[in-house]
Structure 1
Amino acid sequence: MHAIRVYQGAFETKCALLIGMLTFVRPGGLRKAEWTEFDLAQDEWRMRDAMLHPYIQLTEDEGGQSTLLLEAQMDRTGARADLRPAHVGLKLGATIH
């Protein structure tokens, strides 16, 4: 936990590490997650293709930290359907708007 808290890399990576740790979801489940699966007002995550975690109540973690992290991440993803930031997947030299 301490290593994640002091991580100095990208904000999005730190969020993903913390959300994964707080929800116990597999990395692939988080990587493939889309905003349509989340109801942040109800603190719920209903995973589409999950066999082990079809439903996660986000407030079960330490004080609802997952919801706060997801809300912060939502501002950075732009118009994308998934949770990755809008600049992910751009080719080298592409302009970020």
Structure 2
Amino acid sequence: MARSTDDKRNFALRESGGQETSVFSGRTPRQAALKAARRLEPASSEDEAQRTKIELREKGTKKVHIYEGWAWEEDAPDDKPDWMPDRITEANVSKQGIEHLEEI
């Protein structure tokens, strides 16, 4: 199935017990993983950030994308809009692999 470039896909965040607690959308699994990572407890700097396993199942499939994610706070850019706080949460992820579920 061909996708147009602006098609959003939905990814369910899986907890350790297999329950799916949130849904993140994005064009790519990485984009959804970054959104999930931004919800982690932020560290004071990227170097001090705890790395956390993030598992996202693509809705409608048995494919689980596995990432290592971390978040940290940093100063907002000087040209930030008025509504943006002075400290913002940044995040990054590193893909660890893909697993296929037997059943959903």
Provide the TM-score with structure 2 as the length reference: 0.27
Tell me which protein shows more strand as a share of its residues: 2
Choose 1 or 2 for highest CA Rg.
2
Tell me which protein shows more helix as a share of its residues: 1
